[in-house]
Structure 1
Amino acid sequence: MKLLFLACLSPKTGNYTTAERIRSHIESAGHSCELRDVADFHSPSDVAHLASQNPPFEAALAIHLFKAGRLLLDLRLPFGVIFGGTDINEDVKDEQKRVVMEQVLLKARFAVAFTEKLKEEAEFVLASPDSKIYVQPQGIQTEAAEQFCWTEFLRSSGVRTECLDELRVFLLVCGLRRVKDPLYLADVFSEWHSENLHNVLIIIGPKVDPALTAEVEAVVKRATGVFLAQERSQRELHAAMKRCFAVVNSSVSEGMSAAILEAMDLRVPVLARNIPGNAAVVKHGVTGLLFSSPQEFMHQSQRLLSDQELRERVVRNGKLYVEEHHTVKQERETYQRLVDKLHKAQFSA
């Protein structure tokens, strides 16, 4: 079967990584899957025109009901959708977007939510029958680059000190977008660094929003102890994560943060902002630590610094949690089974 797959494909973002992984699951079952960026299309008719090319597409899939799913509404093909975090956390607050999302969900043969809570909220706010929404957490598989120079990484990020091996690096992994709130901890971290030069925050990720990128660069230029690293390949990023003291998430909204799960898989402690998407995977004091303000972030960080037993516990439990709930094997089987539904629907249409 020839399948069209739409997603937001800004390079080296979580959406891109997730879409590529799901595409590989589909193709490993023998299907052809063409992954396209939603930015390439202006309207549903553009997608309908593409889908009718020769040979035509036979089914479709989309990540994000509003951003991508709306582009499938003119298709006369069976399709499925995957919820993104902004669908339920942000887009449903806009009445026009919510109506479009309901239309998409009504027409879709299935929908996938990353968590049980996201499924429950979707059923409530979008009035969807529960039989249509499946829960499948993201599958996580990490691989760190063997050739990776930590010292070079720190110096290229702007860190200037002779005591690089003594640094406690907190790594904030995020694309520079408003929803990721990359400057949330900048002020408090700058103050903390002034008190103890060993504590630094490095923000790393693709520059998605040019205006916000300029803001971040300006803050980093004048702040102390806060740095901005150039984005790296996934293997290099995983190598950097393994060397840092903790991975940080300060997002306003998350569907399911791959960076948090990757840190857990790499046995690195996680400090995450206490929002529904993060709290769904980070159990406070068990698999990581949650904070609701910059001041609480400081408190939890100091706990992690002073309590070795706590650090070992969250690292151990985080790794076990990922191994139990986020296997690539289970994810692959789920998407292959769901795409099978589209294949069968094509013949019954």
Structure 2
Amino acid sequence: MRLLFLAVLRRHTGNAVTAERVREHLEAAGHICLLKDTSDLESSSEIAHFIKAEKLEAALALHLYRGGRLLQGHGIPFGIIFGGTDLNEDINQREKNQVMGKVLEEARFAVAFTESMKEMAQMQWPHARDKIYVQSQGIVTVPNAAFNWNTFLHCSGINQSADNLHIFLLVCGLRQVKDPLYLVDAFSEWHQEEPNVYMVIVGPEVDPVFTREVKAKVKRTPGVRLLREMPQEDLHAALKNCFAVLNSSVSEGMSAAILEAMDLEVPVLARNIPGNAAVVKHEVTGLLFSDPQEFVQLAKRLVSDPALEKEIVANGKEYVRMYHSWQVERDTYQNLICTLEGSTEE
């Protein structure tokens, strides 16, 4: 089939990585998959023209609202992959909620990353309960073998011996829902007690206004550094070299950075929210914190307890192997896409 795949494709973001991985799954099955950014096809007439010009037979969208609403009414069958924004933010806005319900009426299938996401969607839109499937994100990590950790530290403004450092890496786009400043003050206080601990925030500048706020805060905060986004292979290498990976988001669908850290055998400390708790089991596959003070307590414990670090790392690696298989994800999407064969119109 010739497929249109709509997604928000900001470079080096989880959405873009997920979309590219799913596209590869579909093309491996022999389909032609045209991956397009939602911002490039913003009107119904643009979508209709593109479908006709490219002789498209079916479609897929990552995000029910951002992508799915653009596929309505064009006479081609389509499926949806829920994004965290759909169920953590847009669901609470009445107009968007209604639009998403209409999209689900027309969609052939919808994919949620976790059981909790599926349950939330089924409660909101009972009419769609039988077409919602769960497929966790598949993870494949490929660190850049040529990556230089000392160069990374230098670019971060950290001019200390790498041997005695504990680098905590927070990977996120600079927007409010990711809350990159949540831990900054508490971490800085810890750094002033123990100068060998640093927090490095890495990610794209998604929200220009908020980015200025983050830059200004970090600039005046000892022990905290900020870097722009990195190519995926370099990011994986940085994850592998750091002491621990952080997540401080207000809401998450499923954090790729958390799963990648687990696969690379790096400890994870994550804010205790539903999306993170669905992946991180406290003191088993990672550590969950409810406030910045608890984070510091847990981080200090992790630094001083190599046995705990070793256990968490081993459990995290096994969890990803068991539940985030790239091959299982491939099989699921290749099977689901077959349900789009044939027109929605009789």
Interval containing the TM-score (normalised by the shorter chain): over 0.9
- Aligned positions of 1:106-185 closer than 5 A: 106-159=105-158, 161-185=159-183
Does the 8 Å CA contact 1:139/1:331 hold for their aligned counterparts?
yes
Match of 1:74 in 2: 73
Deviation at 1:162, TM superposition (A): 3.3
Whole-angstrom CA distance in 2 between matches of 1:348 and 1:86: 30
Deviation at 1:127, TM superposition (A): 2.3
2:91 aligned with 1:92, yes or no?
A: yes
Whole-angstrom CA distance in 1 between matches of 2:224 and 2:150: 17
2:229 aligned with 1:241, yes or no?
A: no
The AA in structure 1 aligned to 2:166 is R
Match of 2:275 in 1: 277
Match of 2:101 in 1: 102
Does the 8 Å CA contact 2:76/2:344 hold for their aligned counterparts?
no
Does the 8 Å CA contact 1:255/1:277 hold for their aligned counterparts?
yes
2:78 aligned with 1:62, yes or no?
A: no
After superposition, what is the alpha-carbon deviation per residue over 1:253-300, rounded to whole angstroms, capped at 9, x for unaligned?
110000000000000000001111100000000000001111111111
For normalisation by structure 2, the TM-score amounts to 0.98
Deviation at 1:18, TM superposition (A): 0.1
The AA in structure 2 aligned to 1:98 is N
Deviation at 1:126, TM superposition (A): 2.1
After superposition, what is the alpha-carbon deviation per residue over 1:174-214, rounded to whole angstroms, capped at 9, x for unaligned?
11111111111111111111111011000001111111111
For normalisation by structure 1, the TM-score amounts to 0.97
Deviation at 1:347, TM superposition (A): 8.7
Whole-angstrom CA distance in 2 between matches of 1:200 and 1:43: 45
- Aligned with residue 339 of structure 2, among 322, 341, 345: 341
Match of 1:320 in 2: 318
Whole-angstrom CA distance in 2 between matches of 1:128 and 1:152: 54
- Aligned positions of 1:45-56 closer than 5 A: 45-53=45-53, 55-56=54-55
Match of 1:264 in 2: 262
2:199 aligned with 1:201, yes or no?
A: yes
Match of 1:20 in 2: 20
Name the % identity: 58
Does the 8 Å CA contact 2:156/2:227 hold for their aligned counterparts?
yes
Cα distance change, pair 291–19 in 1 and its aligned pair in 2 (3 A): same
Deviation at 1:119, TM superposition (A): 0.3
Match of 2:223 in 1: 225
2:293 aligned with 1:332, yes or no?
A: no
The AA in structure 1 aligned to 2:121 is A
Deviation at 1:308, TM superposition (A): 1.6
- Aligned-residue Cα RMSD (Å) equals 1.2
After superposition, what is the alpha-carbon deviation per residue over 1:119-152, rounded to whole angstroms, capped at 9, x for unaligned?
0110001223322001000000001111111111
Secondary structure of 2:204's partner?
coil
Secondary structure of 1:139's partner?
coil
**Which runs of 5 or more structure 1 residues have no equivalent in the other structure?**
none
**Which runs of 5 or more structure 2 residues have no equivalent in the other structure?**
none
Secondary structure of 1:346's partner?
coil
Whole-angstrom CA distance in 1 between matches of 2:333 and 2:148: 37
Whole-angstrom CA distance in 1 between matches of 2:37 and 2:260: 24
Does the 8 Å CA contact 2:281/2:287 hold for their aligned counterparts?
yes
Match of 2:7 in 1: 7
Secondary structure of 2:127's partner?
coil
The AA in structure 2 aligned to 1:229 is L
Does the 8 Å CA contact 2:75/2:344 hold for their aligned counterparts?
no
Deviation at 1:252, TM superposition (A): 0.7
- Aligned positions of 1:275-314 closer than 5 A: 275-314=273-312
After superposition, what is the alpha-carbon deviation per residue over 1:88-134, rounded to whole angstroms, capped at 9, x for unaligned?
11111100000000000110000000011100110001223322001
Secondary structure of 1:124's partner?
helix
Whole-angstrom CA distance in 2 between matches of 1:348 and 1:41: 23
Deviation at 1:348, TM superposition (A): 8.0
The AA in structure 2 aligned to 1:39 is S
The AA in structure 2 aligned to 1:35 is L
How many pairs does the alignment contain? 346
Does the 8 Å CA contact 1:7/1:68 hold for their aligned counterparts?
yes
Whole-angstrom CA distance in 2 between matches of 1:88 and 1:140: 22
The AA in structure 1 aligned to 2:233 is R
Deviation at 1:247, TM superposition (A): 0.2
Whole-angstrom CA distance in 2 between matches of 1:156 and 1:67: 35
Deviation at 1:303, TM superposition (A): 1.5
The AA in structure 2 aligned to 1:116 is E
Does the 8 Å CA contact 1:157/1:230 hold for their aligned counterparts?
no
The AA in structure 1 aligned to 2:91 is V
Does the 8 Å CA contact 2:75/2:343 hold for their aligned counterparts?
no
After superposition, what is the alpha-carbon deviation per residue over 1:208-236, rounded to whole angstroms, capped at 9, x for unaligned?
11111111111111110000123211111
Secondary structure of 2:167's partner?
strand
The AA in structure 2 aligned to 1:325 is Y
Whole-angstrom CA distance in 2 between matches of 1:272 and 1:49: 44
Whole-angstrom CA distance in 2 between matches of 1:172 and 1:114: 22
